[in-house]
C-alpha cells in the first residue's frame, strides 16, 4: 500500500484553526492527527472534547487521535462520539492493554498503540493480533518541534519484521521530527503513516509540503 500522511494539528495556528483544517482538506493528506494531552502523562496540555468536536465538523479527513493521557479507558466512548476514526493509546498508560484496544474496536474505531522512545517494541508481540496500528514516538511525547531520535530506525525495522513474520494487518505510524528530509528513509524502513506537524504548518506552503511527503517513496 502507499504510505499515508497525517498532519498534526498541534502545530497549527490555533488562532485560525478553521483555516488550518481547510488547507488539510484541500491537500493530499489522508488523515488529520490530533494529540490529546492531559498534563499528567506528559508535561503539556493540548485540547479536549469541545475543540475536537469543532474539528470534526470542519474536517473532511478521518481523525487520527493519539491519547497521551492516563486511564484512557474512562473516555473511549467519548472520543468515539467526538469523531475519532483511529484511536491510539499509550502502551505505558494502559494496565489492561488488550481489554482497552478490544473496546476501541468494539466501538467501531481502529485501535492503535503508541510506544515512547524508551519502550521496546518487543513488548507488543502479544498485542499485534488485536490492533490496527502501532505508533512509534520518534521524540519524547509532550511538545512539538523536537529533534528526531535516530534510534527509532532500529525500532521500526524490528517492528516491521515482527508484523511481517506474523502476517498481521498492522500499520506502522511515526510521530516526531518528521519532515521531507527523513520521510523517504522512514518509508523504506517500513513506515506506513507519517505524522508531520511543524514541517507542514511551519512551512511557507503547507499543501505543497504535504504533497511532497505524500509522493516520496
Mean pLDDT of 161-168: 97
- pLDDT of residue 7 exceeding 80: yes
Q: What is the DSSP letter of 16?
A: G
| pLDDT at site 144 | 64
C-alpha distances in Å from residue 3, one per residue of 52, 60, 76, 186, 215: 25, 19, 27, 10, 9
Percentage of the chain surpassing pLDDT 70? 98
| pLDDT at site 146 | 73
CATH of the domain at 166: 3.20.20.70
Average confidence score pLDDT of the chain = 95
| pLDDT at site 100 | 98
Look up residue 142 and give its three cell numbers. 509532550
pLDDT digits (tens, 9 = 90+) for 26-84: 999 999 999 999 999 988 889 999 999 999 999 999 999 999 999 999 999 999 999 99
Crossing angle of the two packed helices 17-25 and 206-215, in degrees rounded to 10: 40
Are residues 62 and 75 in contact, defined by beta-carbon separation less than 8 angstroms? no
- pLDDT of residue 160 exceeding 80: yes
Domain that holds residue 96: 4-215
Count CB atoms within 10 A of the CB of residue 49. 14
- pLDDT of residue 173 exceeding 70: yes
Task: Specify the DSSP element, H or E, that contains 104.
Answer: helix 97-106
Mean pLDDT of 92-115: 97
| pLDDT at site 86 | 98
Q: What are phi and psi of 73, to 5 degrees?
A: -55, -30
- pLDDT of residue 120 exceeding 80: yes
Looking at the structure of the chain, the number of domains it has is: 1
Catalytic residue positions? 35, 175
pLDDT digits (tens, 9 = 90+) for 182-203: 999 999 999 999 999 999 999 9
Q: Model-level pTM?
A: 0.96
The radius of gyration of the chain's CA atoms, rounded to the nearest angstrom, is 16
Look up residue 70 and give its three cell numbers. 492516563
Question: Which of the pair, 141 or 134, is modelled with greater confidence?
Answer: 134
Place of cell 524490528: 158
Amino acid at each position: 500500500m502507499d504510505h499515508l500522511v497525517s498532519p498534526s494539528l498541534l502545530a497549527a495556528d490555533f488562532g485560525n484553526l478553521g483555516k488550518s483544517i481547510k488547507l488539510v482538506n484541500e491537500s493530499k493528506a489522508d488523515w488529520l492527527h490530533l494529540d490529546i494531552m492531559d498534563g499528567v502523562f506528559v508535561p503539556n496540555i493540548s485540547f479536549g472534547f469541545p475543540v475536537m468536536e469543532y474539528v470534526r465538523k470542519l474536517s473532511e479527513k478521518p481523525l487520527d487521535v493519539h491519547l497521551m493521557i492516563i486511564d484512557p479507558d474512562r473516555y473511549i466512548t467519548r472520543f468515539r462520539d467526538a469523531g475519532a476514526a483511529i484511536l491510539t493509546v499509550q502502551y505505558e498508560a494502559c494496565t489492561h492493554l488488550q481489554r482497552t484496544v478490544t473496546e476501541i474496536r468494539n466501538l467501531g474505531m481502529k485501535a492503535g498503540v503508541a510506544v515512547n522512545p524508551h519502550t521496546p517494541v518487543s513488548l507488543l508481540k502479544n498485542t499485534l493480533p488485536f490492533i490496527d496500528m502501532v505508533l512509534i514516538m520518534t521524540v519524547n511525547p509532550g511538545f512539538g518541534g523536537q529533534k528526531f531520535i535516530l534510534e527509532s530506525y532500529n525500532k521500526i525495522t524490528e517492528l516491521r519484521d515482527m508484523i511481517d513474520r506474523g502476517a498481521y494487518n498492522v500499520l506502522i505510524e511515526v510521530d516526531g521530527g518528521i519532515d521531507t528530509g527523513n520521510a523517504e528513509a522512514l518509508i523504506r524502513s517500513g513506515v506506513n503513516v507519517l505524522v508531520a506537524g511543524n514541517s507542514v504548518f511551519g512551512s511557507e506552503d503547507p499543501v505543497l509540503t504535504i504533497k511532497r511527503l505524500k509522493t516520496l517513496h
